[in-house]
Structure 1
């Protein structure tokens, strides 16, 4: 005569069959019968959790997974699925604890590590999420979502070289992300420019670039400083106003012209920005920032050949200019795959 475990296994297998057929109530009835015959089988109890979750009985599913974990504290399947439910119901910290338990059982569980990273990022602990995303890539270098998340986080942390590395890897792994990657790389380029312009005291920078004396120098320096700060704050109309006033004092002032063209670009006035930058390069053929901005504007509007031309000119002027090699490589790769 078959023992209780044999009957339990039969009920379990029947439950799985009913579940696959979409007969969830019958599946649940049979898994309960399996548990009645073998109540200390964590696999059966966690399967009950799956069925209840499918039937939208969230509290019942949570209880089933918790029961499975009580039976077998190392039941990674129950920990993992419990984490998914807790995450969906907004209990993020508890979800992280569940996935940490999975990683403790299996340190190479990519899905659990990735979920921890996503959860940390979701609650604003983005820097803490970075090593988890990096661990995912250590275990699975072609993990698309890990590259995507790191690209965005590193961009927001102003680590532009790392951001662009992951964004370009994302595009390499999945071409459907091409437009997203282009947009994010453009944002990296813009922010890199702003960081370079404002890496020091804005007033001191303005004074160094303005070549006028006395009261006019002080006034122009103040205006240029205000234009820089408005540009950083993305208050583009105000930045344009101050740049115009600085140029009224000295129409040939180089840094004011560069800032003015940058504001035009950020306002979407691409043709005006291009015209102003072209005039700057005609007057100052060694102005690296102007060539960088021209390349950035052309790249943003999809004119890759012109973007490449200006980035290459920049590379000849200043081979150490930030991002220039990455931009050239990225554009050349795009052109090859046209």
Structure 2
């Protein structure tokens, strides 16, 4: 008895499982209205195709042959031939009128013709395949699928113009097929990759027309807009670069790289207000972009040192290995009179770079400058000598070395240092002034 009850319970559970997974669907009044509306006006009355896709994915049985006929039409225009065949057969089962049978024969013929064209293409008989698809389009007008497949054939034989023409036609007839748009995007990407290769070779005159071609095929291609702007930027055409970046940002305003580039361009164009605005937008998109904080900080150095300091402090907080951040923060602190903080910033720069890096040069001579100002001339001399080891005739290093030697009473060495500094046009006037003083 117990075994029998277990079997009964198992059967009940199994049946309940089947019932719970029943994929049958009961049509609502809205569904019927949708089917009728599509039959009358096609895609034009739909802003969203979700309800269409849900109906095509559902499996329902209506008592009305016209409802299934409406679904046949919807599926056919959406290039879902299996769905179209299923609902046409259900129409015939309810009402076996001749017109339904005629449509069934036509659908079978359409599918056979498509298969013949596909077989020709698979055998690389492209001319035959193209002719087959053109015959299908003429015999069965108003359907997107043959245009799509013909477009793919043209893409295979590198006839991009005809490929795009046919793919766009497929989309116009059936805007509910994402793979049609994806095919165009794929061609645009292929062209953009060729342009990228040209750009890497710095052949921007070849790259630019290709980016423009890719965009003409896929107007929402943000990466192509960005790369196009980079090409113009590399040629020094900042106005064109800016214009294409603005178009890129119209498509998607939350792109870090275009925001950073356009901010840099505005800075080059002396429009610091716009530059600041776009760096702030970049930070809003990615608050962890240490480079965005750094570039904003360097821009603000011309306007507000306190605000600049905050931005650059955030830079080194986000990336404490970014030597430019430490060094620039040191310069800001020097200008603010925060000498001890500046010393720490410059020593941090040197620590990050390591003892052998030639990039230490600026921090070393600025430390020499600070210690000369503090009248700690021996320390200033050591930092200046380290800078001279990196750049023997560097004007800044030799000038600060000369000051240290002079104040340590080593006039001969001071004179030599100032003479080396005078060869640097940026330090010539200051060095010659010191040499004149030493003659008195």
TM-score normalized with structure 1 length: 0.55
Q: Using the TM superposition, give the Cα deviation of residue 161 of structure 1 relative to its aligned residue in structure 2, in angstroms.
A: 2.0
Q: How many Å separate the matches in 2 of 1:115 and 1:52? A: 21
Q: How many Å separate the matches in 1 of 2:235 and 2:363? A: 39
What are the ranges of 5 or more consecutive residues in structure 2 without an aligned counterpart?
1-148, 153-182, 377-402, 412-416, 418-440
Task: State whether structure 2 residue 154 is matched by structure 1 residue 154.
Answer: no
Q: For the Cα contact (< 8 Å) 1:170–1:177, is it kept in 2?
A: no
After TM superposition, which residue ranges in structure 1, 4 or more long, deviate above 6 angstroms?
Answer: none
Q: Using the TM superposition, give the Cα deviation of residue 33 of structure 1 relative to its aligned residue in structure 2, in angstroms.
A: 1.0
Q: How many Å separate the matches in 2 of 1:56 and 1:102? A: 23
Q: How many Å separate the matches in 2 of 1:50 and 1:65? A: 9
Equivalent position to 2:189, from 2, 6, 9: 9
Equivalent position to 2:367, from 185, 190, 194: 185
1:255-307 CA-to-partner distances (Å, cap 9, x unmatched) read xxxxxxxxxx899353299xxxxxxxxxxxxxxxxxxxxxxxxxxx9xxxxxx
Q: Residue 270 of structure 1 aligns with which residue? A: 408
Q: Using the TM superposition, give the Cα deviation of residue 19 of structure 1 relative to its aligned residue in structure 2, in angstroms.
A: 1.9
Q: Residue 90 of structure 1 aligns with which residue? A: 270
Length, aligned pairs only: 203
What are the ranges of 5 or more consecutive residues in structure 1 without an aligned counterpart?
195-264, 274-300, 302-338
> How is 1:224-263 mapped onto 2 (pairs within 5 angstroms)?
none
Task: State whether structure 2 residue 321 is matched by structure 1 residue 142.
Answer: yes
Q: How many Å separate the matches in 2 of 1:182 and 1:67? A: 44
Q: For the Cα contact (< 8 Å) 2:305–2:336, is it kept in 1?
A: no
Equivalent position to 2:210, from 9, 15, 30: 30
Higher relative contact order (CA 8 A, sep 6+): 1
Q: For the Cα contact (< 8 Å) 2:256–2:285, is it kept in 1?
A: yes
Q: How many Å separate the matches in 1 of 2:372 and 2:233? A: 46
Task: State whether structure 2 residue 312 is matched by structure 1 residue 133.
Answer: yes
Flag the structure with larger Rg. Answer: 2
Equivalent position to 2:251, from 55, 71, 85: 71
Q: For the Cα contact (< 8 Å) 2:312–2:325, is it kept in 1?
A: yes
Q: Residue 200 of structure 1 aligns with which residue? A: none
Change (3 A) 1:47 1:185: closer
SS at match of 1:271: coil
TM-score normalized with structure 2 length: 0.43
Task: State whether structure 2 residue 293 is matched by structure 1 residue 113.
Answer: yes
Q: How many Å separate the matches in 1 of 2:237 and 2:308? A: 31
Q: Using the TM superposition, give the Cα deviation of residue 115 of structure 1 relative to its aligned residue in structure 2, in angstroms.
A: 0.3
SS at match of 2:283: helix
Q: How many Å separate the matches in 1 of 2:315 and 2:309? A: 10
Q: How many Å separate the matches in 2 of 1:81 and 1:271? A: 51
Q: How many Å separate the matches in 2 of 1:184 and 1:130? A: 18
